[in-house]
Amino acid sequence: MAPFATPPIRPFAIELDRSALTLRPEGPVLTRRLSDLAGLFLDTAAWRAAVEDGDPVVYTVSSSPVPESPAELPQSITTIRPGDVGGELNFTKGHIHPRPEGEIYLGLDGEGGLLMFDGTDHVFLELSRDRVGYIPPGWAHRSINTGEADYSFLAVYPGGAGHDYGWVLEHGFGARVYAGSAGPELRPFGHPRPEPAPR
Q: Which CATH superfamily is domain 19-188 in?
A: Jelly Rolls (2.60.120.10)
Question: What does the pLDDT look like over 80-136, one tens digit per residue?
Answer: 999 999 999 999 999 999 999 999 999 999 999 999 999 999 999 999 999 999 999
Residue 193 contacts residue 160 (beta carbons within 8 Å): no
Please give the pLDDT value at position 193.
Answer: 73
Please give the pLDDT value at position 196.
Answer: 60
How many residues does this entry show for the chain?
199
Question: What does the pLDDT look like over 44-87, one tens digit per residue?
Answer: 999 999 999 999 999 999 999 999 998 899 999 999 999 999 99
Q: What is the pTM of this model?
A: 0.93
Please give the pLDDT value at position 197.
Answer: 54
pLDDT (mean) for 170-174: 95
User: What's the CA gap between 82 and 66, in Å, rounded?
Assistant: 29
- Report whether pLDDT(7) > 80: no
Mean pLDDT of the chain: 93
pLDDT (mean) for 10-16: 93
- Report whether pLDDT(1) > 50: no
Distances (CA, A) of 2 to 5, 6, 8, 9, 105: 6, 9, 12, 11, 28
DSSP letters, 34-90, are: GGGGTTTSS-HHHHHHHHHTT--EEEEEEE-S--SSTT---EEEEEEPS-EETTEEP
Q: Give the contacts of 124 (CB within 8 A, at least 6 positions apart).
A: 113, 114, 115, 116, 175, 177, 184, 186
Please give the share of the chain, as a percent, with pLDDT higher than 90.
86
Please give the share of the chain, as a percent, with pLDDT higher than 70.
93
